[in-house]
Amino acid sequence: MAEERLARARAGTTVAETIRTNRVIRNTYLLLSLTLAFSAVMAFTAMAVNAPPVHWLVMIGVLIGGPFLIHAARNSVWGLVLTFAFTGLLGFFLGPILSMYLGLPNGPQIVGNAFGTTAIAFVALSGYALTTRKDFSFLGGFLIVGLVLALVAIVANLFLQIPALSLTISAAVVLLLSAAILYDTSRMIHDREANYIVMTISLYANLYVMFLHLLNLFYALTGEN
């Protein structure tokens, strides 16, 4: 009798966990779709008004500070407000960058290739993590160290201006963010504390930064450097 009750309790827990996981995944991808669309609108708006590029310190500050604020407000309506403010602002920052690339002779090809590669990578990596349901939590420490080192290298090269180092950094960041997408998707499945707002911001940041570095890589492949 006791064994039956224990089995039922475990089955009930499993069902509840599955429902929670599916809800987090559904809400995350829904919110991510909305924020990407809003970000695109803001990017086109910035291009339409010919907005000037923002200083790199401002962009880094928003990319690092924004998620901390959103994480603090993740369980309130302000979490959603800050999420759209964060993604809209980054979309607006992206506008001048896109204008610069599109102004090149083969700019549309560069932007299209970067966008397509980002989209394919995201679908493939997220799909793999969701299908296999593997736990990629072991990547957490590696990603923190790798991204910190990449940030230091990026800031250093803003002063050094070494093209080869820039390409090396971009390639490394793309690989790191590919691992980050696996890690974040895995968190939605295996982390009981996963919050869809936090997951949305993390995946959005992965895609945003990956797209920027793919722009740099495809630009280098054109031979225009």
In the predicted structure, residue 4 carries a pLDDT above the cut 80: no
On whether the CB atoms of residues 178 and 73 are closer than 8 A, the answer is no
In 3D space, the residue among 47, 40, 130 whose CA is nearest the CA of residue 88 turns out to be 40
pLDDT in tens, 138-166: 999 999 999 999 989 988 888 888 888 89
**Dist CA 108 CA 120 (whole Å):** 18
In the predicted structure, residue 192 carries a pLDDT above the cut 60: yes
Residues 6+ apart with CB under 8 A from 47: 95, 96, 98, 99
In the predicted structure, residue 18 carries a pLDDT above the cut 80: no
Number of neighbours of residue 89 by Cβ within 10 angstroms = 17
- Section 76-105 average pLDDT: 96
**What is the distance, to the nearest Å, from the Cα of residue 127 to the centroid of all Cα atoms in its chain?**
15
In the predicted structure, residue 176 carries a pLDDT above the cut 80: yes
- Section 82-90 average pLDDT: 97
Question: Residue 163 to residues 104, 107, 220: CA-CA distances in angstroms?
Answer: 18, 19, 9
More confident position, 224 or 86: 86
- Section 211-217 average pLDDT: 96
DSSP states of 7-59:
HHHHHHHHHHHHHHHHHHHHHHHHHHHHHHHHHHHHHHHHHHTTPPPPPHHHH
Q: What is the pLDDT of residue 15?
A: 67
Q: How confident is the model at residue 7 (pLDDT cuts 50, 70, 90)?
A: very low
Number of neighbours of residue 130 by Cβ within 10 angstroms = 15
On whether the CB atoms of residues 210 and 63 are closer than 8 A, the answer is no
**Dist CA 76 CA 54 (whole Å):** 30
Lowest average pLDDT, out of 1-15, 85-99, 175-189, 206-220, goes to 1-15
Lowest average pLDDT, out of 24-33, 60-69, 154-163, 212-221, goes to 154-163
